[in-house]
Amino acid sequence: MIFGNPAYYHRFGFVNAAKFKITTGDGENFEAFMALELYEGALEGIAGKFHEDPVFQVDPVELAAFEAKFPYKEKHVTDTQLK
């Protein structure tokens, strides 16, 4: 299971998780929510909800406090980043 850019991850065999009847913890599905079978049929008969570990949730206030510990650096996007 991965949340990512389909234009990038499809080349590795990831497909929309809906193909395997897997949704997010909220019961949602969208193109960036993908799954990859590690071998053919590995997800056969699997269905349900994927719950992401809370460690991946970012609290904006905590993030700002963390970033304040470092010298200021302007944030920017480069042409090499996926959009």
Please tell me the total count of domains within the chain: 1
Taking the chain, what is the end-to-end CA distance rounded to the nearest angstrom? 20
Token pair for residue 65?
Answer: 């406090």
Residue 41's domain comprises: 2-67
* pLDDT tier at 81, thresholds 50, 70, 90: confident
pLDDT at 56: 87
* pLDDT tens sequence across 22-46: 999 999 999 999 999 999 999 999 9
CB 29 within 8 A of CB 50: no
* pLDDT tier at 48, thresholds 50, 70, 90: very high
Burial class (CB in 10 A: 0-12, 13-18, 19+), 54: exposed
Assess if residue 75 is contained within a domain. Answer: no
pLDDT at 12: 97
Assess if residue 34 is contained within a domain. Answer: yes
